[in-house]
Amino acid sequence: MSLAFTHTAEKPVADKTDRPNIIIILTDDQGYGDVGFNGCTDIPTPNIDRIAKNGVVFSNGYVSYAVCAPSRAGLITGRYQDRFGYSRNPLYRPFDESIGLPLTEQTLPEMLQKTGYATMGIGKWHLGVHEKFRPWKRGFNEFFGFLGGGHRYLPHEYNIAEQDSAKNEGQSYRTKLIRNEKVVEESEYLTDALSREAVSFIDRNSQQPFFLYLAYNAPHSPLQATPKYLDRFGHIKDTKRKTYAAMVSAVDDGVGRVLDKLQELQLTDNTMVIFLSDNGGPESDNASDNGPLRAGKGSLFEGGIRVPFAIQWPRQIKVNSRFDQPVISFDIFATIAANVKGAAPKNKLDGVDLLPYLHGTKKGAPHEHLFWRNYDQKNFAVVHSSGVKEVVLADTATSLYDLKADIGETVNIAGKEKKLLLRFEQERKKWISITVPPAFYGLNQEKQYEEQKKLKKDY
C-alpha cells in the first residue's frame, strides 16, 4: 500500500493505487523566467502554471546538461550521461551505429513497459538516428515526431520524405514526421500536431496505466508561429520576442488540452504530470529570458542548467508546494521507479526518490552534491546542498558563488573559502572517476568525424 496526499492533507494518507499514469512534458530551450510560476509577466502560461499550482515547484530544479541531447539522455536513463559518453549533441548520421544512446542503458519507458504500461514518445527524440536507437526500439510502443535535434514548424516546409535521406542536422529539420516507421503527411502547425497526438494517446489508453513523453520542439529555433498565436502578443514590440512568446503560448495551449483530457476522463488524481525545459534559454538566439540567472544554454552558470520545473500528482503531492533544495532531472526516473509496483531499474541510478522529501518523512537535501561537465571546453560545475556552487572554466579558472544570496553568480567568494575549494576539488575528482569520454563526435566536429571515418576506411 502506498502513501499519498489528498488535496488538503498535511500528512500522507493511504491509497491503494500503485501504478500511476505518468506524463513528462519537456520543452526545448525555454527560459527559466518564461513561465508564470517563475514570474513571467509578458507571456501568460496559465496551463503550465496549473501544474505548479496543483503540485510542487522546484525552485532549484536542474537538468543534467546545458544542451539538448545530453540533457535528454540523463532524463531518460536516470543517470549522469557522462557515465556512458553521451555528452555531446550528436551529428545526424542515420547509418552510423556508433552515434546514439548505448543499448547498455535502460530507458524509462523500457522499465515501465515491463510492468505493463502503454508507452508513447511524442516530438523530439535526439537520442540516436540509426535504426537500432529509434524510439520504438527503446521502450516506446508508439512514437510520433522526428528523430533529430530540431525541426521546422510549418508543414509545407517538410520537403525531405525520409528520415534516412537527410544528410545532416540542418536537412533533418525538413524531414516529414513519422509515426513509428511510417511517414506522415502532416497539415497542422507542429506544436498543435504534437498536442493532438498526446490527447489521442491519453484517450485511447485511459483504462490502463500509461507513460507519455511529450517532448515539444518549441520554443527551439527556428522561430515560427501561426497568426493564431502571434495575434495574442501585439503588446510585445520586439519581433523575435513576439514570435518566441507565440511559440510558448502554443505549448501552453497544448498543456491545457492534456490537463483537460485528464480531468474529463477522471484521471487527474492518479496521474503524475512533470513539466520542465531541457536546458536554459539561449537568450540571444530565441529571445528567451532566464530571469535573474547568469548566461544561458550551453553554459554551466545557472542560466544554462537551472530550468522551470514543476510536478503535480494530487494523490501524492500537496498542492501549492515549493521545494527549495537542489533537485535534478534524473530524479524523475528514480521517483517513478520507487513508486511504480514492479519497476526494476537495470542500472545504478544517480537520481533520488523525491516523494519522501516532499512528504517530510525525509529531511534535508536529496543530494549533497550535483555535478556537470562540458568535456570539450573543460568546464565543470558543482552545486552543494548548502547552495554554494563551484564553476571551473577551461580547467583552470575557479569561482565560488553563494546561490542563496547571489542567484545571479556575480560575486566570486573563492578567495575567502580555501578549505571549501579543496573539498569541491576532491568531490569533483571522485565524480570524474565514474565518467567516460564522449562516445562520438558532436555538432561542429564534422571535420574530425570525416577524418576519423576516412582513417577507419583506409585501415
Which of 261, 360, 275 lies closest to 54 in space, CA to CA?
275
pLDDT of residue 5: 34
**DSSP string covering 328-386:** ETTHHHHHHHHHSTT---SS-------HHHHHTSS-S-S-SEEEEEETTTTEEEEEETT
Quote the CA–CA distance of 10 and 138 in Å, as a whole number.
39
- Let me know if 126 is exposed, middle or buried by CB neighbors in 10 A (0-12, 13-18, 19+): buried
- Which residues are bridge partners to 210 per DSSP? 118
Q: Which active-site residues does the annotation give?
A: 68, 126
What b-and-e string marks burial along 292-305, b requiring 16 or more CB atoms within 10 Å of the CB? ebbbbbbbbbbbbb
Q: Sign of torsion, CA 56 59 63 67?
A: positive
Quote the CA–CA distance of 420 and 428 in Å, as a whole number.
12
pTM beyond 0.85? yes
Quote the CA–CA distance of 168 and 93 in Å, as a whole number.
7
Quote the CA–CA distance of 79 and 72 in Å, as a whole number.
10
Residues 95, 96, 97, 101, Cα dihedral to 10°: -110
pLDDT of residue 69: 98
CATH superfamily assigned to domain 2-359: Alkaline Phosphatase, subunit A (3.40.720.10)
Please name the helix (run of DSSP H) or strand (run of DSSP E) that holds residue 275, with its range, or none. Answer: strand 271-277
Quote the CA–CA distance of 398 and 51 in Å, as a whole number.
38
CB-hemisphere CA count at 13 Å for 195?
A: 22
Residues 438, 70, 375, 290, Cα dihedral to 10°: 170
Low-confidence stretches of the chain (pLDDT < 70) are 1-17, 459
Map out the domains of the chain as residue ranges.
2-359
pLDDT of residue 7: 36
Task: Return the SS3 of 61.
Answer: strand
